[in-house]
């Protein structure tokens, strides 16, 4: 007697990513299983590539990838062409996306401290294991023009097997009298931490509620409060810059100034690594906050810069 696995049912109009995800789910197969079976057939495909194909962020390109798709159809008992005929056009125009180091993007004395902190926490490879699909930051300043709090909301997708911890870091880029205080954390629990008071740096390791498989996503929210320096001569802050090391679907920044002290001028600036900068001047005569949002951006820097 010969047993046959039932072929997965697919809808004619579905994209390849949806069909691949459905076939894996219906058959209870993981991306690790798929990669191992491909390797058994002499087809070398990384977990991150399979994760991209399943999420739809990227599509298979080139002869080797086309061969891999054909073998995947066999392994998942799909009819020939079920996936290959629905690959569609490339989603990576121009040069291929890459992961950049923070030091390549931001010229700051704190980047060396950040690199040491990530290394100490054994999280230097975090940007290659996870993708910040969307990032939202709300920054509040006090009546002296200094950072008061920084709140972030990150939608993170795993690119590797068993992603269980990630770093959350904030660089004030000036000395602080005491460590930044983690006042709110959702979607994870705090673990180890490294602080550099001279750089105004906090690197917090957080443990996700459960390990993520490649392609899985979760949301983590955190709020850090910046300690107020004593006296009236505290150095004021003049910019807040985000530096995504990979291409990010959506970045949103909202900087809110105290109504008792609103900057004289503000400029929103964004520049991808190696590309031209885009700047927009904001009139603050009738407002006390600025909002900046970009889509499909990175690696590079995006932020708000102001003068008092």
Q: Which of 245, 240, 215 lies closest to 291 in space, CA to CA?
A: 240
Per residue, the 3-state secondary structure of 250-261, as one string, reads EEEEEEECCCCC
CB-neighbour burial class of residue 138 (10 A; exposed 0-12, middle 13-18, buried 19+): middle
C-alpha dihedral sign at 97, 99, 102, 107: negative
Crossing angle, helix 47-55 and helix 31-40, to 10 degrees? 120
Cβ–Cβ under 8 Å, residues 133 and 249: yes
> Over the stretch 235-279, which tens digit does the pLDDT of each residue have?
899 999 998 888 888 999 999 999 999 999 999 999 998 889 999
> Over the stretch 122-174, which tens digit does the pLDDT of each residue have?
888 887 788 888 999 999 999 999 999 999 999 998 888 899 999 999 988 88
C-alpha dihedral sign at 40, 46, 51, 56: negative
Greatest alpha-carbon span in the chain: 86
> Over the stretch 199-246, which tens digit does the pLDDT of each residue have?
999 999 999 999 998 888 999 999 999 998 887 666 899 999 998 888
Copy the structure tokens of residue 242.
Answer: 């985000």
């Amino acid at each position: 007697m010969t047993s046959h696995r039932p072929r997965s049912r697919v809808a004619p109009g579905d994209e390849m990513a949806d069909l691949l995800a459905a076939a894996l789910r219906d058959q209870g197969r993981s991306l690790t299983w798929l990669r191992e079976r491909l390797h058994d057939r002499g087809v070398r495909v990384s977990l991150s590539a399979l994760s991209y194909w399943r999420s739809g962020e990227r599509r298979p390109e080139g002869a080797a990838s086309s061969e891999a798709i054909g073998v995947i159809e066999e392994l998942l008992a799909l009819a020939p062409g079920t996936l290959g005929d629905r690959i569609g056009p490339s989603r990576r125009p121009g040069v291929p996306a890459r992961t950049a180091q923070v030091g390549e993007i931001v010229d700051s004395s704190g980047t060396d401290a950040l690199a040491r902190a990530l290394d100490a926490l054994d999280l230097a490879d975090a940007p290659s294991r996870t993708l910040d699909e969307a990032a939202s930051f709300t920054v509040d300043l006090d009546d002296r023009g200094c950072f008061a709090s920084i709140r972030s909301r990150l939608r993170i997708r795993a690119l590797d097997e068993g992603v269980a911890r990630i770093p959350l870091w904030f660089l004030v880029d000036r000395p602080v009298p005491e460590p930044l205080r983690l006042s709110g954390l959702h979607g994870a629990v705090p673990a180890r931490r490294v602080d550099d008071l001279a750089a105004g740096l906090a690197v917090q390791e957080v443990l996700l509620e459960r390990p993520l498989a490649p392609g899985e996503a979760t949301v983590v929210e955190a709020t850090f409060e910046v300690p107020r320096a004593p006296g009236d001569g505290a150095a004021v802050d003049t910019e807040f810059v985000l530096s995504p090391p990979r291409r990010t679907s959506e970045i949103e920044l909202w900087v809110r100034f105290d109504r008792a002290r609103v900057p004289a001028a503000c400029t929103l600036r964004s520049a991808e690594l190696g590309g031209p900068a885009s700047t927009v001047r904001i009139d603050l005569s009738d407002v006390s906050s600025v909002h900046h949002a970009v889509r499909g951006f990175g690696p590079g820097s995006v932020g708000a810069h102001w003068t008092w």
